[in-house]
Amino acid sequence: MSTAEVTRTFDVAKVKADFPLLQRELKGGPIHYLDSAASSQKPQVVIDAMTTYYETINANVHRGVYEIAEAATNALEASRVRVGRFIGAPNPETEVIFSKNATESLNLVARSWGGANLGPGDAVLLTQLEHHANIVPWFQLQAEKGFEIRWIPLTADAQLDLTDIDRLLDGVKLLALTAMSNVTGTLTPVRELTEKAHAAGALVCLDACQYVPHLATDVVSLGVDFAAFSGHKMLGPTGIGVLWGREALLDAMPTFLGGGGMILNVTLDGFTPAALPAKFEAGTPPVAEIIGLHAAVDYLDALGMDAVREHEVTITAYALRTLTERFGEALTIHGPAEPAARGGVLSLAMEGIHPHDLAQVLDEHAVCVRPGHHCAKPLMKVLGVGATARASFYVYNDTDDVDALADALGEAADFFSF
C-alpha cells in the first residue's frame, strides 16, 4: 500500500516535508519517529514563530509600555484565545491558563481546587489507565487531606470496566481521568462518564494530554470541568502546557503558585490575587513557547482535526493488520483491538524479548520507539508486565514507518531467537 492510498485526508509526504528533523538521515536511512506520544516533532512554522518572536518582539509581557513589549503581550494573549478556540472554550480570555505542561496543570487542580474542597470523608475517583501525572498529585494531597482514592478497573482489553461505576461514584467529589491512555491508546467514554459523575455530584478533571493533539476537542460537548494538556505533544514546543477550567470554578479557587504577575495588590500585610487568568500565572511566562503553540494550533487546524484523526485511525489499522499478520501470537499488542476505540499508540510485547532490548535493536534501524513503564506503573501491573515497547503515530507517520517498524521487529526476533 502506498502512502497516497492510506489517507485521502491530507498528503502525508507533504506534511512530513514540513518537519526539519524528519529530513535527517540516521543509520544511513530515513528516521522513523514513532514516539510522538512522548513528544511530537515540530514543523518549521512553529520553530520560525519562536525565532521571529526572539528576533523582532522579544520583551517581557504585561508590563512594558513600549512598542515591542505591547506586541509581545498581544501575541501572548492572541495565542490564549486561539488555543481556547481550538478546544471550544466558551471564555478563552479567562479560562485558558498557561502552565509548564499538563503535569503542572493537573497539580494546579489538585493543589488549588483539591486543597480547598477535599477532606476526610471525601473521595476522588481515578482510573487504572492513568499516567503518574494524574495519580501522584492526588496521593500527595491525600497525605495532607485524608480523602479516599478509588479506581475504575479495566477490562481484559484495557478499556474502562464500568460495571460498578454507580457504586464507585457514590460520594465522589472529583473524577479525574485520561481521555486517551498514553500506553494502550484506549479512548475513554468521557461524555458518558461526565454525565454520570455530574449526576452523582462530582466534578470531572480530564487529562487530555494524549487527546487534544489527536482528536477534535470541544470541552463544552465533552462536558468536563477541567482539561489539561501539553504543547509539546501537539507539534508545539516543550515548556508550555494548558489548563482549561470553567470560569466560575477557576474564579472561586485559591491561588496556586505565588509571585509576580498573579497579584492585584501586595502590602506588608498580605496580597490580593489578580483576576483570571493572571491569578494562576505567577512569574514571567514562556512567551516564545506560547507563541510557538499558537503556530502549532494553526498548523493542526489547517490539516483539520477530523482529518488528523482519520489519518491516525488508518495508520493504526494498517499497523495492527501488518504486525498481527507478520508476527501472530509472538507479538502482543496491548489495548483495544478495534482501531476506532483507540488512538495511534501501540504498546508492544514480543515474546522472549524485553522491551528495552527490543527498542535497542529497533534503534539500529532508526526506528524510534519508547521502552519502559511510560509513567503508568499501576497500569503496567494491571497488564501484568514491567514494561512495554511503545510505538505511537502522528500526522507525519506513513506506512513506510510502519513497515520499517515491522522489519526491525523481525530483525529483533531473529537476533534474540532462542
Partner 1 sequence: MPGLEDLYREIILDHYRSPRNRGELETPPATRTEGFNPLCGDEIVVYLDVDASGTVGDIRIGGTGCSISQSSASMMSAAVKGKTLAEVRALTRAFKGMMSLHESSLDTDGESGEELDADGEPVEDVKLGDLEALRGVVKFPVRIKCATLAWNTLMQGVDEAAEAHPA
Type of residue numbered 349? A
Residue 34 pairs with which residues in a beta bridge? none
CA distance 244 to 43: 25
Active site residue 205: no
Residue of 37, 355, 369, 404 that binds partner 1 (CB under 8 A): 355
> Of 179 and 389, which CB lies nearer to partner 1 in the complex structure?
389
54 binds partner 1 (CB under 8 A): no
Residue of 148, 157, 354, 407 that binds partner 1 (CB under 8 A): 354
Cell 487504572 found at: 128
The string over 360-371, giving b where at least 16 C-beta atoms fall within 10 Å of a residue's C-beta and e elsewhere, is ebbeebbbbbbb
The residue count for binding partner 1 (CB under 8 A) is 17
CA distance 311 to 11: 10
Cell triple for 304: 483539520
> Of 315 and 412, which CB lies nearer to partner 1 in the complex structure?
412
Q: Which of 205, 209, 368, 375 is catalytic?
A: 375
Angle, CA 396 vertex, CA 288 and CA 218 arms, to 5°: 65
Smallest gap, in angstroms, from Cβ of residue 359 to partner 1?
9
Q: Mark the segment that binds partner 1 (CB under 8 A) among 42-50, 177-185, 193-201, 359-367.
A: 359-367
> Of 179 and 349, which CB lies nearer to partner 1 in the complex structure?
349
62 binds partner 1 (CB under 8 A): no
285 binds partner 1 (CB under 8 A): no
CB 179 within 8 A of CB 343: no
Q: Mark the segment that binds partner 1 (CB under 8 A) among 36-44, 211-219, 275-283, 357-365.
A: 357-365
131 binds partner 1 (CB under 8 A): no
Helices (H) then strands (E): counts for the chain: 17, 17
Q: Mark the segment that binds partner 1 (CB under 8 A) among 176-184, 198-206, 267-275, 369-377.
A: 369-377
415 binds partner 1 (CB under 8 A): yes
Q: What is the dihedral of CA 5, 9, 11, 13, to 10 degrees?
A: -70
Smallest gap, in angstroms, from Cβ of residue 27 to partner 1?
8
356 binds partner 1 (CB under 8 A): yes
Residue of 77, 357, 400, 403 that binds partner 1 (CB under 8 A): 357
CA distance 179 to 166: 19
Instruction: Name every residue whose Cβ is closer than 8 Å to that of residue 375 and which is 6 or more positions away in sequence.
Output: 131, 132, 133, 182
Q: Mark the segment that binds partner 1 (CB under 8 A) among 42-50, 77-85, 313-321, 364-372.
A: 364-372
Residue 370 pairs with which residues in a beta bridge? 390
> Of 250 and 362, which CB lies nearer to partner 1 in the complex structure?
362
Residue of 360, 382, 403, 406 that binds partner 1 (CB under 8 A): 360
The string over 222-246, giving b where at least 16 C-beta atoms fall within 10 Å of a residue's C-beta and e elsewhere, is bbbbbbbbbbbbbbbbbbbbbbbbb
CA distances from 92 to 95, 138, 242 (A): 5, 27, 11
372 binds partner 1 (CB under 8 A): yes
| 3-class SS of residue 361 | helix
Q: Closest Cα to residue 345, out of 251, 219, 231, 209?
A: 209
> Of 54 and 415, which CB lies nearer to partner 1 in the complex structure?
415
332 binds partner 1 (CB under 8 A): no
Smallest gap, in angstroms, from Cβ of residue 105 to partner 1?
23
102 binds partner 1 (CB under 8 A): no
The interface mask with partner 1, positions 377-396, x = CB under 8 A, is x--x-----xx---------
> Of 103 and 314, which CB lies nearer to partner 1 in the complex structure?
103
Q: Closest Cα to residue 50, out of 282, 239, 302?
A: 239
CA distance 78 to 70: 12
> Of 173 and 370, which CB lies nearer to partner 1 in the complex structure?
370
> Of 214 and 334, which CB lies nearer to partner 1 in the complex structure?
334
Supply the residues annotated as catalytic: 375
Which positions lie near partner 1, rule CB under 8 A? 354-357, 360-361, 364, 371-373, 377, 380, 386-387, 415-416, 418
